[in-house]
Every structure is written in C-alpha cells, then in structure tokens.
C-alpha cells in the first residue's frame, strides 16, 4: 500500500540531525558517527519509532540505528524521537534489509531487533521474504562476524513457528522464548505501536532471543 506523503515530512528530513541522508558513506565508520565505542544495536523496520526511541532513552550507553524502508514512515519516527528528546545515541536512515552490507562492515553490529515484520503468509514462495528466513540469517551472521544476537517479536503464530525452525536449523542458540509475552515473567519489555494494538485485542505476543556464535 502506498502511503500518503506527509506535508511536514520533507522539513523533518532536512532539519532533524538524527537522520542520515547517505548511510553508505558511513560503512565501517559508525563508531566515529556516534563518537564512542559503545555497542551498536539496529532495528529493522522501525515503523513510527516508538520502540527504538524508547530504548535509546532507557539505555544511553548503547548506540541505536533505526532502519525503515519507507521514507513516508521514517519521518514519523524522526518526529517522535525529536518530541521525546532523544540524544546522540540514535540515528535513522532509509534502507532495505537486503542492502545491509552496503551500510555495515562485519563486526559493527551486536544486536538486531525485528519487531512485527511482514509474515508473508499467503504463498510458500514468499517465505524467502521473511526476515527470519535462513538467507537473512546468513546476512546477519556476516554482520556479526564472531557473534551477535537477534531479538524477535511477532503476533503471527505461523511466522513464529517458522522462525524457530530457521534459527534451530542454522544452529543458533535460543533463549527467553515466550508464547504469550504479556502474561509471562519476562521483565523489561518495551512495546511497539503494533504490539499495543494487537495485545489490546487480547492477541498473544510471541518473542524469542536468538544468539549466533561463529
């Protein structure tokens, strides 16, 4: 679905210093961009930005990169971050997951958040588009080099089952698996906009942490 362009969007992109216009120029240089050696965590498909802007405020000693495929969506995340008063430990840019190697060198990333991505449920051939498909896991392994982790949340049962199998087949170690996150003992969860919507309807939220070690 094509999203309507927001009338204030261009101004947000041009004036918000947290937006990176040419992220490919920073490949291998992200620690210089942040000005420190703190761990770098990225969110694929940041949406309107509630999750990662909140995380950046809660964890000032971690650097966050919010990545979104659609410009008309990331402007809302930028606006939310500005209104929340986020600091220098978060930046935003527009990119497709398939192009991550254009923006990062191996060992630059320690954690990837994947929250409520498109489950691509209708056709078997679409499985390769799921962000937890083995092809994407291979890509993440390249970014992590010696080790890293993916934290994953979804409301889709079939996608969660698929993801469990993909991580297991690749030999990743699974931890903190929850079939109903909001009725579990897990502490420290930060909700996304979608999560609030789905859980408000009584739908269970699935969550896992997957760890890769070369």
* pLDDT tens, position by position, 28-56: 999 999 999 999 999 999 999 999 999 99
Using alpha carbons only, give the angle 125, 128, 129 rounded to the nearest 5 degrees: 105
| Cα–Cα nearest to 189, from 173, 174, 206 | 206
Please give the tally of structural domains in the chain: 1
Mean predicted confidence (pLDDT) in 193-210: 94
pLDDT (0 to 100) of residue 1: 46
pLDDT tens by residue, 51-95? 999 999 999 999 999 999 999 999 999 999 999 999 999 999 999
| Active-site hit among 10, 37, 96, 118 | 118
pLDDT (0 to 100) of residue 31: 95
Question: Quick check: is 118 catalytic?
Answer: yes
pLDDT tens by residue, 89-145? 999 999 999 999 999 999 999 999 999 999 998 777 889 999 999 999 999 999 997
pLDDT (0 to 100) of residue 136: 97
| Cα–Cα nearest to 115, from 170, 58, 196, 194 | 194
201 domain-assigned: yes
108 domain-assigned: yes
For 186, the token pair is 């897990």
We report the CATH number of the domain holding residue 129 as: 3.40.50.150
Instruction: Please say if the pLDDT value at position 2 is more than 70.
Output: no
Q: Are 6 and 77 in contact (CB under 8 A)?
A: no
| Cα–Cα nearest to 82, from 18, 5, 10 | 18
154 domain-assigned: yes
For 37, the token pair is 């050696």
159 domain-assigned: yes
3 domain-assigned: no
2 domain-assigned: no
Instruction: Please say if the pLDDT value at position 206 is more than 70.
Output: yes
pLDDT tens by residue, 139-187? 999 999 789 999 999 999 999 999 999 999 999 999 999 999 999 999 9
Instruction: Please say if the pLDDT value at position 25 is more than 90.
Output: yes
Task: Report strand pairing: 147-154 vs 111-115.
Answer: parallel
Domain that holds residue 181: 9-213
80 domain-assigned: yes
4 domain-assigned: no
For 84, the token pair is 């929340």
């Amino acid at each position: 679905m094509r999203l309507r362009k927001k009338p204030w969007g261009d101004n947000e992109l041009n004036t918000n210093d947290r937006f990176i216009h040419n992220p490919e120029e920073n490949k291998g240089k992200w620690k210089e961009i942040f000005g420190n050696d703190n761990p770098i965590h990225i969110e694929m498909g940041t949406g309107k930005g509630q999750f990662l802007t909140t995380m950046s405020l809660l964890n000032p000693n971690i650097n966050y990169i919010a990545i979104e495929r659609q410009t008309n969506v990331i402007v809302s995340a930028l606006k939310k971050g500005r209104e929340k008063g986020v600091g220098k430990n978060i930046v935003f840019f527009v990119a497709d997951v398939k192009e991550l190697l254009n923006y990062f060198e191996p060992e630059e990333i320690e954690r990837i958040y994947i929250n409520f991505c498109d489950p691509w449920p209708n056709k078997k051939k679409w499985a390769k588009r799921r962000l937890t498909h083995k092809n994407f896991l291979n890509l993440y392994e390249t970014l992590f080099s010696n080790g890293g982790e993916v934290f994953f949340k979804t409301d889709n049962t079939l996608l969660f089952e698929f993801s469990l199998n993909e991580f297991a087949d690749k030999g990743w170690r699974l931890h903190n698996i929850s079939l109903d996150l909001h009725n579990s003992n897990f502490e420290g969860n930060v909700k996304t906009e979608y999560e609030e919507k789905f859980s408000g309807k009584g739908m269970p939220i699935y969550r896992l942490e997957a760890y890769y070690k070369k």
